[in-house]
Amino acid sequence: MRWQDFRTSSNVEDRRGMGMAGGVGGLGIGGMVILGLIGWVFGIDPRILIGGAEMMTGGGSGYQQQQQQGRQGAPQDEAGRFASAILGNTEDVWNTVLPQQVNQQYRAPKLVLFSDATRSGCGGAQSAMGPFYCPLDQTVYIDLTFFEEMQRRFRAGGDFAYAYVLAHEVGHHVENQLGILPRVQERQRQVGQAESNQLSVRVELMADCLAGVWAHHSQQRWKSLEQGDIEEAIRAAEAIGDDRLQRQSGGRVVPDSFTHGSSEQRVRWLTTGLKSGQIQACDTFRASRL
């Protein structure tokens, strides 16, 4: 992937090496996620991300008092520059695509790079959670060592695979700006566990598709993809399907417990966005087939 040609974003805060300020507090979103997820995933259950649990215990307000401040702007190391460049490219794509397709101006999210643990608007963030988006502060959080873990544990490496991870989280931000995440949270409060999980799957698959929409337009405008890039992202999407993660954990596959979608679903929705380049094609909530 020709990411070196991308503009780097200024919406980056580098907290690597700073540690956790003020402890986790509240429910501790890191603890909830570690207890709730099977293995590593690219996102977090939207019931947690949307902040319902933390809001009920005051976790969000605690963040305001203990907010950390890292180095602002594009980092100088290669991993940091990569993340900043991918974020910058998502900004350039969505600044054009969102107004054109849904008549909304794009408000870019912030990206926080951290190591081990940090604070977020949704509570404590830990590396074990993987990358995630917090809608309460409209920020993507990532420990960049996650990319090494992708290669080591999932055999899913490569620049475009890593870019897909970041673009997926930015996809959650697009969902939030479209008003989808708050509506999902409200509905999840009203339904049982199985239907709540199904709503989570729809949120995650839509974010996969929106990552594909980003890549479609990046390729059209900047010719950013190289041979083998799409295969890298497909391998990554396959690797983190709920069914594969459940098998790897030694358990049986339980579709009602899925929160992110099967490997086949994640690949299919990513490919849908790549081929169409259309936000409307990513509407998993009206789709007859997930």
* pLDDT for the residue 138: 97
* pLDDT for the residue 199: 95
Cα–Cα dist 31/188, whole Å:
21
* pLDDT for the residue 68: 65
Structural domain spans, the chain: 3-282
Cα–Cα dist 116/106, whole Å:
31
Token pair listed for 165: 């991870």
pLDDT mean across residues, the chain: 85
Q: Which residues of 151-176 are buried (b: 16+ CB within 10 A; e: fewer)?
A: eeebebbbbbbbbbbbbbbbbbbbbb
Cα–Cα dist 64/285, whole Å:
33
CA 86 → CA 42, 137, 251, 281, distances in Å?
16, 20, 36, 23
DSSP 108: P
Terminal-to-terminal C-alpha distance of the chain: 29
Per-residue pLDDT of the chain (290 residues; tens, 9 = 90+): 999 999 999 999 999 988 775 444 333 333 333 333 333 343 434 333 433 323 222 333 334 434 567 899 889 899 999 999 999 999 999 999 999 999 999 999 999 999 999 999 999 989 988 999 999 999 999 999 999 988 888 888 999 999 999 999 999 999 999 999 999 989 999 999 999 999 999 999 999 999 999 999 999 999 999 999 999 999 999 988 888 888 877 778 888 888 999 999 999 999 999 999 999 999 999 998 99
* pLDDT for the residue 106: 98
Token pair listed for 95: 């600044």
Of 270, 11, 259, 264, the C-alpha closest to 138 is: 11
* pLDDT for the residue 93: 98
* pLDDT for the residue 67: 56
* pLDDT for the residue 252: 81
Q: Which residues of 10-28 are buried (b: 16+ CB within 10 A; e: fewer)?
A: ebbbbbbebebeeebbbbb
* pLDDT for the residue 15: 96
Each residue of 190-246: pLDDT tens digit? 999 999 999 999 999 999 999 999 999 999 999 999 999 999 999 999 988 888 888
